Structure 1
Amino acid sequence: MLPRVWAPTAARVDLVLGDEHVPLTADGEWWVGDADLPHGTDYAFAVDGGPPRPDPRSAWQPQDVHGPSRVYDPGTFAWSDDGWSGVDVRGHVTYELHVGTFSDEGTLTSAIEHLDELVSLGIDLVELMPVAPFSGVHGWGYDGVGTFAVHEPYGGPAALQAFVDAAHARGLGVCLDVVHNHMGPSGNYLGEFGPYFTDAHQTPWGSAINLDGPGSEEVRRWVCDSALRWFRDFHVDALRLDAVHALIDFSEGHLLSQLSDEVAALSAELGRPLSLVAESDLNDVVSVTPTAEGGWGMTAQWDDDVHHAVHALVTGERHGYYVDFGSPQVLRKALTGAFVHDGEHSTFRGKDWGRPVPPGTDGHRFVAAGSTHDQVGNRALGDRPSARLDAGGLAATAALVLLSPFSPMLFMGEEWGTRTPWMYFTDHPDPDLAAAVRDGRRREFGGHAWDVLYGGHVEVPDPQDPETFRRSVLTRHEMDDPAHARLRDWYRSLIAVRRSVPDLAAGDLAATDVVWGGASEDDAPWDGWLVLHRGSARVVVNLSGEQASVPVRTDGPVDVVAAWDPATIEPTADGAVVVTPPRSVVVLA
């Protein structure tokens, strides 16, 4: 590797090799050297006589986020996936996992040992939460600082290549969660090299990434090169882009449009689909509108409104951002229109929010989930729905998400109803930063609403306590319990039905509807019955504690293709009456 670094205002830049400082030569705004550094060489850069700093494009940080970079040649890995043709995220089932808590060992290598479990479940893609280097050993990964590297405690870059290769060998695609909207608070030295940030825009994390100010052309190149590298050198199939609404860009062409066009070109070159999935809080299809039509060209986007509509209906929770959700009418709007807030008032935000989804939009462009790392980990206690719902409620949630017109996603352990919490945990060595994170977390959840929800005073777990991390590691022996095994079999059945019944696999929002009855529409939690129409298929959900006789209108005969409990069908002139046990689900096709 020939050393080069962008430092547009520097008067001098040295390449640091151990105790040796080698001056680099200015080439415009870049500084370059003529010494070819072989794979495994440790190096750093010093700007204007300052301390050695990691390369802003470091591919390997074997010591920590403050230590020297190490040259990594991606060509040293022997790939075996030549026959892999790729997978598009649209319409496929994704499984989100956090490397550090997915297995007892918490590494990419140990995660490989559980891939066959995901294959047997019917998963199509594995989504890894961020693997960029961050401060300490344990963390969520959203405070990373090296967008080109892989966290060393997870195994480093070679381990990620091995994981992707192993996934492809099993027919699984890999989606990588990446963060470009901010850098973590420890180990971020980008500002010493150039104008990577701008005070012209602010984000929840401070100054925004500089995408439209002086020097932004190289910053945009830094973002795009990082993304393209994961596709090209690590063979990943998709990237999930964190909080794209915080990528503030008022230039003529938005960064995401540029990235979409470049990824499309690379996809054509590689001959396999490459997907970009946006996490966006905007409720605006500009994310998935093609760049040729003025949009950002994302393949798909996360849809939190679907999660909120399902979760609030089944659990009865109405606090915080769930305040406008929970009724069957709202569920219908979410399942038929993707966005609940589509230009109408959002009580939580205190303003009108979103835009309607245009007719004909493919539902597969929206990723829907019953649980995600956000919706679990950002609760005061990191408690999952399984801590509060009975088995029937979990079965209903699974059916409404997996048989929706969207692209479904599961969060690790959800499929067997794990009781393992997934809490917010950090491992910052800096005591001041650790104290700030701890105090901030306590302030965030000090409100009365959480005490009411949990039925008493909430003692928020200390993010810095190692036990908070350890308690979040999946408890896999739960799968041996019959109740947990039954729920996992249910998930497997629903995924299989989704694949085998065309109407359930379709993303046709116009062929989707919801009807309901048996309870007041304002009950919380709602305890009536509902029928999800998906073309000619029907998903009958009884959330009451009593047996229900549910009228189902159909265009012809239907059969039970999946049932949480045995049910009976009594034919009628215009369909059937489905007699369902309490807290149960029946799928007809």
Structure 2
Amino acid sequence: MQFEVWAPLADRVTLHCEGATRALEPDPDRTGWWSGEAAAADGARYGFALDDGPVLPDPRSRRQPDGPDGPSAVVDHTRYEWRAPWAGRALPGAVLYELHVGTYTPEGTLDAAAERLRHLVELGVTHVELMPLCPFPGRHGWGYEGVSPWAVHEPYGGPEALKRFVDRAHALGLGVVLDVVHNHLGPSGNHLPAFGPYFTETQHTPWGAAVNLDAPGSDEVRGYLVGSALAWLRDYRIDGLRLDAVHTLRDTRALHFLEELSAAVDGLAAELGRPLFLIAESDLNDPRIITPRAEHGLGVHAQWNDDFHHALHAALTGESQGYYADFARAPFAALAKTLTGGFFHDGTYASFRGRHHGRPLDRTRTAGHRLLGYAQSHDQVGNRARGDRLSAALSPGLLACAATLTLTSPFTPMLFMGEEWAAGTPWQFFTDHTDPGLAEAVRRGRRREFAALGWAEQDVPDPQDPATRERSCLDWSEPEREPHARVLAWYRRLLALRREQPDLTDPDLADTKVAYDEEARWLAFRRGDIRVAVNLGPGPAAIALGTRRAEVLAAWEPVEAPGPDGLLHLPGESCVVLDQA
């Protein structure tokens, strides 16, 4: 088979494959590339030695069976026999479910997670979003410190297990989205700098030197990342990619990396004849990210909307620290603004940043499904000191209100695993670094970060303690008992309504109309003929919905449709969905 590697800094490159060595030759047509042929079948171990250096794994390794520092292994993708025919599942009308393979089940593998996929079908979601799967040192971690961005973490089951997972999901009608990290690689097991200028000191990120997207050599680095993205979509039949923290992609070129990537993904979708999509995580509040390329945008198909989360969280909990401060001043007004305009900070002053932030969306041209709305996510739960979910502090009624606002909003809803039954387990920050020095640095850094916020050291879980990961695993006995069962039933009912009521998947942001009372703590909104009302206050609320006849479609507590006076009498910590056709 043909082996090739980009190593522009090397004078010699030697392939080591299954105990044999072979000198690679410079490619006359591609500057910095080396290539050569050697006998190798699926599973063959190999690596590259640069000049007189050690044997290193392939930067484009498809498998790292012995971890990031071990040899690479050949993967023959044609050997897998796909069982489920799949035409794809597009983003409009979708409901995503964010899942971490290592804690979705106690086993922490892709095969074990696949056995729980029917739960998601019965719940009513359309796509499962897997947190990053690239290899990292140790067994357990969030996945955002991965290396080898073409490979699958071996303790999760490796490449074959991911294919089985996707095959099973598709057989059940579920699309699969994969979280990928292009803005940095992990601090341990990253051998890319030995091969070439994959990083640049001309730009910096929170993780150090930036990925080289615009300095000399960046053409190949961009091709490396685009190639990795297309490989997930093509070789594993993934339906979409979530792009981690795109605001940290430092790129000054006229053709932005995201635009180049979106064009490549759209091209692959046309080639394969099935829909593919990209979802950005961005805190820029910049509409250009999700504006089509034909309209001079970057062409990413959707993005996470933290502003909706922050407004909802502030309304539910009253928290006002950090970035919640601006939302907590008038949380119901903030919710109303995000429900109708997408962004809260759309050029307004952001006290957390100490400057003005964002710019307005054109809500008459931006489809609501291009923004993802959520009440919880891995970031917003796991980056709390103790990884506590909303269920640790809120009543089932308030959790039902959070679900109602999320699942009836004009956005593409996303749930975080276990949210649907008010999981009693936390989801904490955990690592399994094999380098003792790095492990201690992470432990100290985590505790120092929260000590500055007033937390006692003993109250911040040790990321390296195996018990921290174990506490974060879902307890699958919970959905069978109260109050979890009732919350789960409510989520299922709301998701059924999304399928039954076309108004709830209408992408027209401008058609959403909101009323609220900040002091009484209620909010109501209209989407077509559907009326949604939530009462976050402890006592009953009288909400004017008009005198048109209404039918109750779903209610957390028993409630009657408005009478001749048009008033809805909604109990405290309760919510209702009505049809006023």
* Residue identity opposite 1:12 in structure 2: R
Aligned match for 1:437, one of 439, 442, 446: 442
Aligned match for 2:358, one of 354, 360, 364: 354
Alignment of 1:194-273 (within 5 A): 194-273=196-275
Q: Determine whether 1:329 maps to 2:330.
A: no
Aligned match for 1:48, one of 51, 54, 61: 51
- 1:132, 1:150 within 8 Å by CA — same for their partners in 2? yes
RMSD value, Cα: 1.3
Q: Determine whether 1:426 maps to 2:431.
A: yes
Aligned match for 1:582, one of 572, 576, 581: 572
Which residue of structure 1 lines up, in the alignment, with residue 472 of structure 2?
A: 472
Which residue of structure 2 lines up, in the alignment, with residue 524 of structure 1?
A: none
Identity of aligned residues (%): 54
The alpha-carbon deviation at position 535 of structure 1 amounts to 2.2
The alpha-carbon deviation at position 19 of structure 1 amounts to 4.6
CA distance in 2, matches of 1:365, 1:475: 33
- 1:197, 1:210 within 8 Å by CA — same for their partners in 2? yes
SS in 1 for 2:572: coil
Aligned match for 2:563, one of 548, 566, 571: 571
Q: Determine whether 1:408 maps to 2:413.
A: yes
SS in 2 for 1:476: coil
Alignment of 1:12-91 (within 5 A): 12-27=12-27, 28-82=31-85, 84-91=86-93
5+ long unaligned stretches in structure 1 = 521-526
CA distance in 2, matches of 1:471, 1:405: 34
Q: TM-score, normalised by structure 2?
A: 0.97
CA distance in 2, matches of 1:400, 1:385: 14
CA distance in 1, matches of 2:490, 2:507: 22
Q: TM-score, normalised by structure 1?
A: 0.95
Which residue of structure 2 lines up, in the alignment, with residue 127 of structure 1?
A: 129
CA distance in 2, matches of 1:275, 1:558: 38
- 1:138, 1:427 within 8 Å by CA — same for their partners in 2? yes
Q: Determine whether 1:550 maps to 2:555.
A: no
CA distance in 2, matches of 1:118, 1:189: 38
CA distance in 1, matches of 2:465, 2:355: 38
* Residue identity opposite 2:296 in structure 1: G
Alignment of 1:122-161 (within 5 A): 122-161=124-163
- 1:386, 1:417 within 8 Å by CA — same for their partners in 2? yes
CA distance in 1, matches of 2:21, 2:38: 13
CA distance in 2, matches of 1:181, 1:192: 18
CA distance in 2, matches of 1:479, 1:579: 30
The alpha-carbon deviation at position 569 of structure 1 amounts to 2.4
* Residue identity opposite 1:178 in structure 2: V
Which residue of structure 1 lines up, in the alignment, with residue 396 of structure 2?
A: 391
**Superposed CA offset, 1:330-352 (max 9, x none):** 11111111111111111111111
**Superposed CA offset, 1:441-464 (max 9, x none):** 01111124x54xxxx886211100
Q: Aligned pair count?
A: 573
The alpha-carbon deviation at position 6 of structure 1 amounts to 0.2
Which residue of structure 1 lines up, in the alignment, with residue 109 of structure 2?
A: 107
From the superposition, tell whether residues 78 and 19 of structure 1 become closer, same or farther in structure 2 (CA, over 3 Å): closer
**Superposed CA offset, 1:111-142 (max 9, x none):** 01110000000010000000000111000000
5+ long unaligned stretches in structure 2 = none
Q: Determine whether 1:501 maps to 2:501.
A: yes
CA distance in 2, matches of 1:124, 1:379: 28
* Residue identity opposite 2:53 in structure 1: G
**Superposed CA offset, 1:397-454 (max 9, x none):** 0000110000000000000000100000000010000011111101111124x54xxx
SS in 2 for 1:562: strand
CA distance in 2, matches of 1:546, 1:113: 43
Which residue of structure 1 lines up, in the alignment, with residue 533 of structure 2?
A: 540
The alpha-carbon deviation at position 384 of structure 1 amounts to 0.3
* Residue identity opposite 1:534 in structure 2: R
SS in 1 for 2:49: strand
CA distance in 2, matches of 1:153, 1:49: 32
The alpha-carbon deviation at position 21 of structure 1 amounts to 3.1
CA distance in 2, matches of 1:457, 1:438: 10
CA distance in 2, matches of 1:17, 1:501: 58
Which segment drifts farther, 55-64 or 322-331?
322-331
The alpha-carbon deviation at position 36 of structure 1 amounts to 3.9
Which residue of structure 1 lines up, in the alignment, with residue 343 of structure 2?
A: 339
* Residue identity opposite 1:263 in structure 2: V
- 1:2, 1:37 within 8 Å by CA — same for their partners in 2? no
- 2:550, 2:561 within 8 Å by CA — same for their partners in 1? no
SS in 2 for 1:33: strand
CA distance in 1, matches of 2:232, 2:70: 23
SS in 1 for 2:122: helix
The alpha-carbon deviation at position 294 of structure 1 amounts to 2.0
**Superposed CA offset, 1:304-341 (max 9, x none):** 00011111101111111111113211111111111111
CA distance in 1, matches of 2:501, 2:37: 60
CA distance in 2, matches of 1:330, 1:91: 25
CA distance in 2, matches of 1:144, 1:131: 8
CA distance in 2, matches of 1:345, 1:571: 43
The alpha-carbon deviation at position 37 of structure 1 amounts to 2.1
CA distance in 2, matches of 1:473, 1:57: 32
SS in 1 for 2:575: strand
